[in-house]
Amino acid sequence: MFRKILIANRGEIAVRVMRACREMDIRTVAVFSDVDRKSLHVRYADEAYLIGPAPSTESYLRIDRILDAARRSGAEAIHPGYGFLAENSDFARACEDAGIAFIGPPVSAMELMGSKTASRRAVLEAGLPVVPGADRNLESLEEVRHIAGEIGYPVMLKASAGGGGKGLRMVREESELESAYRTARSEAQNAFNDSAVYLEKYIEHPRHVEIQILGDRRGHLIHLGERECSLQRRHQKVVEECPSPAVNDDLRRRMGETAVRIGKLAGYANAGTVEFLLDPQGDFYFLEMNTRLQVEHPVTELVTGIDLVKEQVRIAAGERLAWRQEDVRMRGAAIECRIYAEDAANNFFPSPGRIARLQAPAGPGIRRDSGVYEGWQVPLEYDPLLSKLAVWATDRAEALARMRRALGEYEIQGIRTNIPFFRRVLEHPDFVAGRLDTGFIDRVLAAGLMEEEPPSEEEERVALLAALLHVERNGGAEPAGATDRNAWKHAGRRALLQRCPERAGGRS
């Protein structure tokens, strides 16, 4: 087993990996950028090394500097977390070349599954389900018409160079095809300087359901059931649960076996996730594979009792996977909410700044993976994920009640968060009933999910009373720690005192 591991990441996931290492009696090495000197992962690690300035291209994405830190510290392995270099096969190869174990899949599997088109082709050739369509550029309207007719409407036109919804057109029937084709092409040309488009069957009201797989380097590969990840905003998952309300034992077995076959054809080892679209009829289609630990891995851990990070470390160290498929048992239900520094009441605007107050939920069934602490300044250079709040309970209904309770206990002040948004989502009748699809969040937001009810008179009285108490208590001075103590603040206070000379003698 390794004695020392470097974690090439920051925030909550770096802390999560270090926690596993500490329990395994492995020493941990953090790397950090200028602005992360006071970050939790740096404070938590056994050793920490500066790798550059704030922009991630100059720090967390610098393979050379990360490997330098690994050599300096004598780390024998590197865990990449998720994001940054986690799916960069050059990084994995550079680690291996430097004689440092990369805690992730083999380079060849990463390269095959990392390409959307190559992985789709490989899955298709193996006779496994992918979303029907043409995985090549379509040069003429006739060609588009022909293929659309073959796979059946509705279809989706997509820019080959695409992303971010540009060059994306849904076509319900043939009469719409011509104009949709032209606009998709011109949008793609404007956005990506490449007018190439391809075509896929449009799956209506799809769920996003993914299967966790885990395998050792000897070809033993199992699945750990599914995660329901349909709740997404801007193509980013915000709530995940395990099990999915839409998956029964039979479907789980079929999806799981498909995921394991996909893993095997890629020669996959370590932890990975196979993403599927699940349609309302119960048919599922391969979407893509994530060749790393997922953000939402805690819900699987809570329900299966298997610590994925520890398994990743053991597999990378060459150990055999101790679990057989029949040993994997799913027990109870888990839900996770991703707590972001963004203002849910104001169009989810990012809200960096200082966490003036933090009170975390606790008690039965709560798991909180956090990368922050009270008094910390949330930097604006990185992803605004503050923490992941997960709960486990004996069934989904109890898990929902527990999550509502935990969200009610979670208090973060000084910056805005999306906690108020989750409180409402968890009370939405469709969510409670498990009626989810990838359009859920946009739909409920458009329907006024975040509209506030007017406050009670009593609450308004409390707001006024609190302000009075505050002024009496400290003459309106800021609460300690509400913002940075800057020179301008004292200058402002002096200026104010000069403006109100009668007050300079002290508070009245």
Binding site for another protein (CB under 8 A): 234, 341-342, 345, 347-353, 356-357, 380-384, 411, 413-414, 420, 423, 452, 455, 458-483, 488-489, 492-493, 495-496, 500, 502-503, 508
Residue 100 CB partners (closer than 8 Å, separation 6+): 6, 67, 70, 75, 76, 77, 78
Q: How many CB atoms lie within 10 A of CB 461?
A: 11
Report the distance separating Cα 253 and Cα 259, nearest Å.
10
Q: Is 165 exposed, middle or buried (0-12, 13-18, 19+ CB in 10 A)?
A: exposed
Q: How far is CA 318 from the centre of its chain?
A: 28
* 23 vs 411, beta carbon nearer another protein: 411
Cβ-based nearer residue to another protein, 140 or 456: 456
What is the amino acid identity at position 505? G
Residue 367 Cα distances to 94, 114, 298, 361, 363, angstroms: 35, 31, 8, 9, 9
Compute CA distances 312 → 84, 368, 395, whole Å: 18, 21, 28
Nearest approach in angstroms of CB 116 to another protein is 21
Give me the least distance between CB of 378 and another protein, in Å please: 9
Bridge partners, 214 (sequence order): 222, 271
Query: How many angstroms separate the CA atoms of 179 and 105, rounded?
Result: 44
CB of 452 to another protein, least distance (A): 7
Residue 292 a catalytic site member? yes
Distance CA 283, CA 40 (A): 43
Question: Closest separation between CB of residue 383 and another protein, Å?
Answer: 6
DSSP letter string, 168-225: -EEE-SGGGHHHHHHHHHHHHHHHHS---EEEEEPPSS-EEEEEEEEE-TTS-EEEEE
CB of 470 to another protein, least distance (A): 5
Nearest distance, CB of residue 357 and another protein, angstroms: 6
- Pick the closer one to another protein by CB: 380 or 397: 380
| Between 165 and 280, CB nearer to another protein | 165
Instruction: Give the pair of three-digit tokens for residue 426.
Output: 């968890």
Q: Which is nearer to another protein, 100 or 407 (CB)?
A: 407
- Our CB check for another protein shows the closer of 397 and 496 to be 496
As a whole number of angstroms, the distance between CA 202 and CA 458 comes to 51
- CB of residue 64 vs another protein: minimum separation in angstroms? 23
* Phi, psi (degrees; rounded to nearest 5) at 457: -60, -35
Return the axis-axis angle of helices 116-125 and 107-114, rounded to nearest 10°. Answer: 90
Q: Is the peptide bond before 154 cis (omega within 30 degrees of 0)?
A: yes
SS3 (DSSP) at 386? strand
Residue 374: CB atoms within 10 A of its CB come to 15
Catalytic residue among 169, 292, 338, 416: 292
Of residues 318 and 492, the one with the C-beta less far from another protein: 492
Burial of 272 (0-12, 13-18, 19+ CB in 10 A): buried
- Minimum CB separation of residue 406 from another protein in Å reads 15
Q: Using the minimum distance from each CB to another protein, give the nearer residue, 170 or 465.
A: 465
Residues that are catalytic: 292
